[in-house]
């Protein structure tokens, strides 16, 4: 067991009659990129606010680096970097001045601060924009500036809340590569996003929240094993007769068969050699068919299965 960076135990937060956090417990070990997922209104933002002691809570405990986290835990706060969804920089300062200002909250030695600021600028790729003010930056560059301001003091624990919202693919890729590099350099990360492919790409472990509770936790592979569907086979063909549907339904591991939009879809739960069994059955039936696709479940499939598909209001 490694060093525990975050320990949240039985956290309860009430807003009058609304219970925003319902006995939430989370443990994050040093060196993890921990994905914190949930629909809008699930409690992610409240969790982060409580974690940073920006919000009082009703019950439970929070420890960071093995110490209780309180509003006056300035020694702990100096070890944390926070990059929130809403970009928080000073419009009247240029890129260099913004990063220097935030870094200066923690690093008082001028020579060290200058070195850290230069390294942060290099890290996020803003070397050609140091004299630009925020209003002159594109959305992707502004996100990178926001990250640089949050990590310039070299925090050991970094919270990133939706850092790639509304940025171009190149900036998104740059941000994700940067997060992985920060992690390789020793930082522990909490990462929240609605982009499931990003979570699959970079997160070592994931928790899914809903209605203020943790409803699932594990690696991407472990979470995928929680749902019934383990494989979906799609076959391009004309609408099949009932006999073919019946023969496919009787195959091992098949739990649903349906035809829609020119494709026969076969849903499977577990088992091996499913595709071979399906192909053998197709050949035996003698029907004509086109391309055959086999799809494994994604983290997005898991998320929708666990939390439901209905629309949610924003946080």
103 exposure class (CB count in 10 Å sphere: 0-12, 13-18, 19+): buried
pLDDT of residue 311: 60
Q: Compute the half-sphere exposure of residue 134: CA atoms within 13 Å on the CB side of its CA.
A: 17
Q: What is the CATH number of the domain that holds 262?
A: 3.30.70.100
pLDDT of residue 1: 54
Check: CB of residue 236 under 8 Å from CB of residue 262: yes
- Is residue 305 a part of any domain in this protein? no
Same domain (yes/no): 13, 69: yes
3-state helix, strand, coil in the chain (%, to 5): 35, 25, 35
- Is residue 211 a part of any domain in this protein? yes
Same domain (yes/no): 216, 242: no
pLDDT of residue 312: 60
Same domain (yes/no): 134, 258: no
pLDDT of residue 199: 96
- Is residue 64 a part of any domain in this protein? yes
Measured from the Cβ of residue 193, the count of other Cβ atoms closer than 10 Å reads 21
Distance in angstroms (rounded) separating the CA atoms of residues 30 and 307: 28
pLDDT of residue 313: 59
**Of 184, 202, 224, the domain-final residue:** 224
**Of 224, 258, 287, the domain-final residue:** 224
Q: How many domains does the chain have?
A: 2
Q: What residues contact residue 158 under an 8 Å CB cut-off, 6+ apart?
A: 80, 81, 82, 83, 150, 151, 182, 187, 188, 189, 190
Q: What is the CATH number of the domain that holds 57?
A: 3.40.50.300
Distance in angstroms (rounded) separating the CA atoms of residues 244 and 237: 12
**Mean pLDDT per 10-residue segment, the chain (315 residues):** 90 94 97 96 95 96 97 96 92 97 95 97 94 94 94 97 88 91 96 94 96 96 93 95 93 95 95 93 93 94 87 55
Same domain (yes/no): 84, 50: yes
Going by C-alpha positions, the residue among 162, 168, 143 that lies closest to residue 38 is 162
Distance in angstroms (rounded) separating the CA atoms of residues 65 and 63: 7
| Block residue for tokens 């900036």 | 171
- pTM of structure: 0.89
**Boundaries of domain holding 139:** 4-224
Distance in angstroms (rounded) separating the CA atoms of residues 256 and 114: 62
Same domain (yes/no): 105, 236: no
**Of 198, 224, 250, the domain-final residue:** 224
Token code pair at residue 191: 């990462």
| Block residue for tokens 């879809």 | 265
Same domain (yes/no): 133, 237: no
Token code pair at residue 1: 């067991």
Residue 68: phi and psi, rounded to 5, are: -60, 135
């Amino acid at each position: 067991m490694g060093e525990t960076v975050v320990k949240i135990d039985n956290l309860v937060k009430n807003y009058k009659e609304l219970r925003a956090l319902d006995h939430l417990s989370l443990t994050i070990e040093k060196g993890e990129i921990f994905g914190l997922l949930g629909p809008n209104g699930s409690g992610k933002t409240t969790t982060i606010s409580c974690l940073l002691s920006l919000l009082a809570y009703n019950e439970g405990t929070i420890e960071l680096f093995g110490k209780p986290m309180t509003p006056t835990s300035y020694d702990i706060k100096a070890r944390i970097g926070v990059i929130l969804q809403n970009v928080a920089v000073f419009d009247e300062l240029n890129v260099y001045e913004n990063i220097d200002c935030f870094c200066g909250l923690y690093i008082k030695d001028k020579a060290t601060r200058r070195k850290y600021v230069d390294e942060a600028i290099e890290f996020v790729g803003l070397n050609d924009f140091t004299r630009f003010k925020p209003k002159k930056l594109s959305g992707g560059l502004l996100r990178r500036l926001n990250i640089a301001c949050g990590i310039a003091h070299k925090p050991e624990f970094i919270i990133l809340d939706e850092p790639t919202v509304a940025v171009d693919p190149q900036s998104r890729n740059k941000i994700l590569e940067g997060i992985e590099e920060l992690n390789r350099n020793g930082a522990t990360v909490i990462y929240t996003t609605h982009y499931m492919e990003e979570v699959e790409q970079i997160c070592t472990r994931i928790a899914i929240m809903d209605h203020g509770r943790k409803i699932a936790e594990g690696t991407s592979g472990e979470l995928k094993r929680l749902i019934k569907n383990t494989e979906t086979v799609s076959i391009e063909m004309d609408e099949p007769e009932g006999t073919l549907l019946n023969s496919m339904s009787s195959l091992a591991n098949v739990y649903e068969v349906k035809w829609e939009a020119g494709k026969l879809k076969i849903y499977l739960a577990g088992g091996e050699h499913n595709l071979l069994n399906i192909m053998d059955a197709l050949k035996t039936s003698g029907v004509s068919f086109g391309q055959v696709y086999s799809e494994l479940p994604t983290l997005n499939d898991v998320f929708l299965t666990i939390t439901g598909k209905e629309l949610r209001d924003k946080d």
